[in-house]
Amino acid sequence: MIDALAGTESLVPPPATPLEPKNPGGVMGRDQFLQLLVAQLKNQDPMNPLNAEEFAAQLAQFSSLEQLMNINETMEGQVSTTAGLIEATNAAAALDVVGREILAVGDTLDVGEDGPPAIVVGVGGTGGTGTLKVFDEDGSQVGEKAVSFDEPGRHEIELDGALKGLEPGRYTFELEIVDEAGSAVKFQTFSRIHIDGVRYGPGGPVLMSGDLEIPLSNVVEVLAALG
């Protein structure tokens, strides 16, 4: 006897895929809590209604949950607004710096027609002695100077001698400082840089000086406008 169903597709539908719960093992949200509370009230035993104290406790939990969610939404809005204000303030500050000289964290030395500016360094500890080395754009050392700091704080290093005769251009410098015991002293160097432009990127405004980029966060002082 020939099977009339041979070669045909099965007429039995595949088993349905079970639906995943919205919050499997997760934290119950406000809507889920309210739905559960309403269902509990609708299906309670009329002869044994929900205990008033238990019901009040559940309402208090729902009220607390709603208040916390409202506070969270408010804080998120405030954070977004604050971030927008900071971004706008930074953009305006960056534009105001164009055409001016700044003091920024760094090791760049811009030498003009009038000679090199003083190098600024913030010295920690109790001060110390050390050596300042200056390098040209090719990385070759073009001079050095012995330095001494009697106390901590901000100091200016005037470039004299051979360093005073540096040709106009861009240089970098290195500094090493040790105390009387020969231990390294912590310090921070700063650069005087003329700003001629601003570039806006994902991280915010970046100040430009030729091909040199200076993050706005590195600026510690705005010194003067160019004459």
Q: List the one residue out of 182, 178, 97 whose CA is nearest residue 130.
A: 178
pLDDT digits (tens, 9 = 90+) for 150-174: 999 999 999 988 898 899 999 999 9
Burial status of residue 133 (CB atoms within 10 A of its CB: 0-12, 13-18, 19 or more)? middle
Over the chain, what is the mean pLDDT? 78
Q: Which domains does the chain have, with CATH numbers?
A: 30-40+53-95 (no CATH), 100-225 (2.60.40.4070)
Q: pLDDT confidence of 75, banded at 50, 70, 90?
A: confident
pLDDT digits (tens, 9 = 90+) for 76-117: 766 666 655 656 666 666 668 888 898 999 999 999 888 899
Alpha-carbon Rg for the chain, nearest whole angstrom, is: 35
pLDDT digits (tens, 9 = 90+) for 133-147: 999 999 999 999 999
Predicted structure pTM score: 0.58
CB 108 within 8 Å of CB 189: no
Q: pLDDT confidence of 35, banded at 50, 70, 90?
A: confident
